[in-house]
Amino acid sequence: MNLFNVYTLNNITISRAHGSYVWDDEKNRYLDMYGGHAVISIGHTHPFWVEAITEQMNKISFYSNSVVMPIQQQLAEKLGKISGKEDYQLFLCNSGAEANENAMKLASFHNGKKKVIAFYKSFHGRTSLAVAATDNKAIVAPVNETDNIVFLPFNDEQALQDYFNEHGNQISSVIVEGIQGVGGINIANETFLQLIRKLCTQCNAVYIADSVQCGYGRSGEFFSHDFAGVNADIYTMAKGMGNGFPIGGIIIAPHIQPKIGMLGTTFGGNPLACAAAIAVIDVITEDNLMEAAAELGNYLMNELKKIEGIKNVRGKGLMIGFETDFPEFKNKLLYEKKIFTGDAKPNTIRLLPSLAITKEQINIFINNVHELAVELRK
């Protein structure tokens, strides 16, 4: 049997990983500035995380959500504390798309309305409603098409205000990334998020903060939306949550009430995933990784701005984008300098390293970017 061929692959087989480094099967070492797509939050194979999962596996790996699982409550308490949303409620699932799907569905159950506002260049996942709310026609199948999603320009307060003025009573939810990732590292303006909050409150709509990529401390705040100083009604999470162990979740403001059977999942909230997620929060807290992300992110952006040929450096914490004049830059970083980075169309290089990356490793990256920019200018 062959694999179903849907991914553009780098011709590299990774066989080992530790911290911010990965090794291929020929023993070449690579610096991971991509974090396996923003997933590796505390570092590859972090020993505390490995031990927590192993210990849990030796006790019990799985039972269905038909029994009490104290480890879910432990995770909820830790999440409440680290995010400052102690009065929110946690629903656990398995991925970012599933988190957003559940968030939009829950919003609609809550207010009985149908329309969802999403924004240009958004990415919210590949399940039916999540993909319909994603601004990329190429990945929306005919069966996913729906009139319930309305796209507006990102950061355009007037367009948002106008749409609410006309259709406010039909809007169930507004879903927005605090920093658009796949869309190219575009930061939501604080006033834009404040307006979303205000209009949602006025019109009984639900403000959904998609924190799947920009959340979990990556920006220097636990949720990057919170720089705006207003709360969302639902925050969705996944990538950094389990440091590579699949887990997703939504946290839900207290005024949104659950009903038995309203949401559900087989695997979501399983003990292994919870053990992984708890270990991640413990390491982020113990090692002050949010503060480190803010500080090292600023340092990295400032250093990148000094390099001739590197343009439009932007981001927050360790979620950073920049551009160059050279389309081959990313591949040359990978194959010649042995550094993984991400990208975003048309020509953004995306940096999403582990929050535990060191200043020394960041300096290695900066030196290599500098060297490559000089080589390519010749």
Q: Is 177 in the site for ligand PLP (CB under 6 A)?
A: yes
Alpha carbon distances (Å) from 243 to 42, 132, 187, 231: 6, 27, 24, 25
3-state secondary structure 26-64: CCCEEEECCHHHHCCCCCECCHHHHHHHHHHHHHCCCCC
Q: Is 210 in the site for ligand PLP (CB under 6 A)?
A: yes
Rounded CA-CA distance 32/306 in Å is 22
Footprint (CB under 6 A) of ligand PLP, residues 70-89:
none
Enter the tokens of residue 233: 């009604």
Which of 174, 188, 206, 212 touches ligand PLP (CB under 6 A)? 212
Residue 19 beta carbon to ligand PLP: minimum distance, rounded to whole angstroms: 23
Residue 335 beta carbon to ligand PLP: minimum distance, rounded to whole angstroms: 24
Which of 213, 224, 243, 270 touches ligand PLP (CB under 6 A)? 213
Question: Does the bond joining 47 to the residue before it have cis omega, within 30 degrees of 0?
Answer: no
Q: Is 181 in the site for ligand PLP (CB under 6 A)?
A: yes
Which of 20, 100, 102, 341 touches ligand PLP (CB under 6 A)? 100
Whether residue 283 contacts residue 42, with contact meaning beta carbons closer than 8 Å, is answered with yes
Q: Is 196 in the site for ligand PLP (CB under 6 A)?
A: no
Residue 373 half-sphere exposure, CB side, CA atoms within 13 Å? Answer: 18
Q: Is 182 in the site for ligand PLP (CB under 6 A)?
A: yes
Judged by beta carbon, residue 124 or residue 314, the one nearer ligand PLP is 124
Whether residue 176 contacts residue 208, with contact meaning beta carbons closer than 8 Å, is answered with yes
Which residue has the closest beta carbon to ligand PLP? 96
Judged by beta carbon, residue 72 or residue 95, the one nearer ligand PLP is 95
Q: Is 104 in the site for ligand PLP (CB under 6 A)?
A: no
Residue 43 beta carbon to ligand PLP: minimum distance, rounded to whole angstroms: 20
First to last CA, the chain: 47
Kindly state the number of chain residues that form the binding site for ligand PLP, as judged by CB under 6 A: 14
Kind and range of the H or E run holding 332: helix 329-335
Whether residue 215 contacts residue 188, with contact meaning beta carbons closer than 8 Å, is answered with no
Residue 101 beta carbon to ligand PLP: minimum distance, rounded to whole angstroms: 9
Judged by beta carbon, residue 107 or residue 212, the one nearer ligand PLP is 212
Residue 100 beta carbon to ligand PLP: minimum distance, rounded to whole angstroms: 6
β-pairing verdict for 89-93 and 171-177? unpaired
Judged by beta carbon, residue 135 or residue 177, the one nearer ligand PLP is 177
How many Cβ atoms are within 10 Å of 7's Cβ, its own excluded?
A: 7
Q: Is 96 in the site for ligand PLP (CB under 6 A)?
A: yes
Residue 288 beta carbon to ligand PLP: minimum distance, rounded to whole angstroms: 25
Footprint (CB under 6 A) of ligand PLP, residues 228-267:
238
Q: Is 113 in the site for ligand PLP (CB under 6 A)?
A: no
Residue 166's Cβ-count burial label (10 Å; 0-12, 13-18, 19+) is: exposed
Q: Is 184 in the site for ligand PLP (CB under 6 A)?
A: no
Rounded CA-CA distance 332/52 in Å is 37
Residue 305, classed as helix, strand or coil, is helix
Q: Is 186 in the site for ligand PLP (CB under 6 A)?
A: no
Whether residue 33 contacts residue 351, with contact meaning beta carbons closer than 8 Å, is answered with yes
- Sole window of 78-86, 175-183, 286-294, 321-329 interacting with ligand PLP (rule: CB under 6 A): 175-183
Q: Is 40 in the site for ligand PLP (CB under 6 A)?
A: no
Residue 216 beta carbon to ligand PLP: minimum distance, rounded to whole angstroms: 12
Which of 124, 316, 330, 337 touches ligand PLP (CB under 6 A)? 124
Residue 39's Cβ-count burial label (10 Å; 0-12, 13-18, 19+) is: buried
Quick one: residue 63, left, alpha or beta (phi over 0 = left, psi -120 to 50 = alpha)?
A: beta
Q: Is 101 in the site for ligand PLP (CB under 6 A)?
A: no
- Enumerate binding residues for ligand PLP (CB under 6 A): 95-97, 100, 123-125, 177, 181-182, 210, 212-213, 238
